[in-house]
């Protein structure tokens, strides 16, 4: 009788453990959030007093980065910036996440402005915030909820880089819809 109880307990514990692992496996196998852009380090960089160049960098996801060197702090932080397009539409109520790889290659660490915005005047922000920039590569993010609909191709990721004289490396950016 004692042996039968031990075997029954083992079967019950195994069944309980299996029941607990199935939801965990389902979570791990869940599809990633839908991407609204093509992740790339092919940033369009603009503004006076900066230089930029794509470069290989095995330490960042994708292996390439855009290096932006700002020789002197401009009059306005927004005078120097970078952008990448968003190809898919954004709907009112979409929970959005902008994540990007960034680091300071030379100069002071700090933060930069980051936004998902309209890509035409008045360049109204859809989601905006500030992200930290340190000496090490980091995947940073902002998130928010879209207040209006935006057609495919009518939005972009925009970074404000003119907060100071420094060299910043930009890796790929990801715009995702969260559940």
Q: Which CATH number is 159's domain given?
A: 2.60.120.260
- Listed in sequence order, the residues at least 6 apart from 12 whose beta carbon sits closer than 8 Å to its beta carbon are none
DSSP assignment letter at 46: E
128 and 70, same structural domain? Answer: yes
72 and 22, same structural domain? Answer: no
Residue-level pLDDT at 128: 98
Tally of domains in the chain? 2
Residue-level pLDDT at 53: 97
- Listed in sequence order, the residues at least 6 apart from 81 whose beta carbon sits closer than 8 Å to its beta carbon are 45, 46, 47, 158, 159, 160, 161, 162
62 and 16, same structural domain? Answer: no
11 and 61, same structural domain? Answer: no
- Walk along the chain (179 residues) and give the pLDDT tens digit of each residue: 444 333 333 333 333 333 333 344 444 567 778 999 999 889 999 999 999 999 999 999 999 999 999 999 999 999 999 999 999 999 999 999 999 999 999 999 999 999 999 999 999 999 999 999 999 999 999 999 999 999 999 999 999 999 999 999 999 999 999 97
Instruction: Return the structure tokens found at 137.
Output: 């590569």
- Whole-number Å distance between alpha carbons of 161 and 81: 5
pTM summary value: 0.81
**Other CB atoms within 10 Å distance of the CB of residue 143:** 14
- Listed in sequence order, the residues at least 6 apart from 123 whose beta carbon sits closer than 8 Å to its beta carbon are 117, 158
Q: Establish if 128 belongs to a structural domain.
A: yes
**Residue 5 burial (10 A CB sphere; 0-12, 13-18, 19+):** exposed
25 and 54, same structural domain? Answer: no
141 and 74, same structural domain? Answer: yes
DSSP-assigned beta bridge partners for residue 110: 133
Q: Establish if 69 belongs to a structural domain.
A: yes
Q: Establish if 78 belongs to a structural domain.
A: yes
Residue-level pLDDT at 31: 75
**To which H or E segment does residue 37 belong?**
none
- Whole-number Å distance between alpha carbons of 90 and 73: 34
83 and 17, same structural domain? Answer: no
List, as own/partner pairs, every contact residues 145-148 make where C-beta atoms lie below 8 angstroms and the sequence separation is at least 24, other chains included. 145/93, 145/94, 145/95, 145/96, 146/90, 146/91, 146/92, 146/93, 146/94, 146/96, 147/92, 148/92
Residue-level pLDDT at 28: 54
Q: Establish if 117 belongs to a structural domain.
A: yes
171 and 98, same structural domain? Answer: yes
76 and 1, same structural domain? Answer: no
Q: Establish if 79 belongs to a structural domain.
A: yes
SS3 call for 16? helix
Domain span at residue 3 reads: 1-30
Q: Establish if 119 belongs to a structural domain.
A: yes
């Amino acid at each position: 009788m004692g042996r039968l109880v031990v075997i029954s307990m083992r079967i019950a514990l195994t069944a309980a453990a299996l029941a607990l692992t199935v939801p965990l496996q389902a979570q791990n196998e869940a599809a990633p959030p839908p991407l609204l852009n093509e992740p790339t380090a092919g940033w369009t960089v603009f503004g006076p007093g900066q230089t930029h160049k794509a470069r290989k960098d095995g330490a960042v996801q994708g292996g390439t980065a855009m290096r932006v060197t700002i020789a002197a702090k401009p009059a306005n932080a927004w005078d120097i910036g970078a952008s990448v397009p968003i190809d898919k539409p954004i709907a009112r109520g979409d929970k959005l996440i902008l994540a990007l790889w960034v680091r300071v290659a030379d100069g002071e660490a700090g933060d930069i402005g980051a936004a998902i915005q309209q890509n035409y005047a008045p360049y109204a922000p859809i989601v905006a915030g500030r992200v930290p920039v340190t000496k090490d590569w980091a995947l940073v993010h902002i998130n928010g909820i879209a207040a209006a609909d935006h057609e495919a191709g009518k939005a972009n990721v925009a970074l404000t880089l003119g907060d100071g004289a420094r060299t910043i490396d930009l890796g790929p950016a990801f715009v995702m819809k969260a559940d």
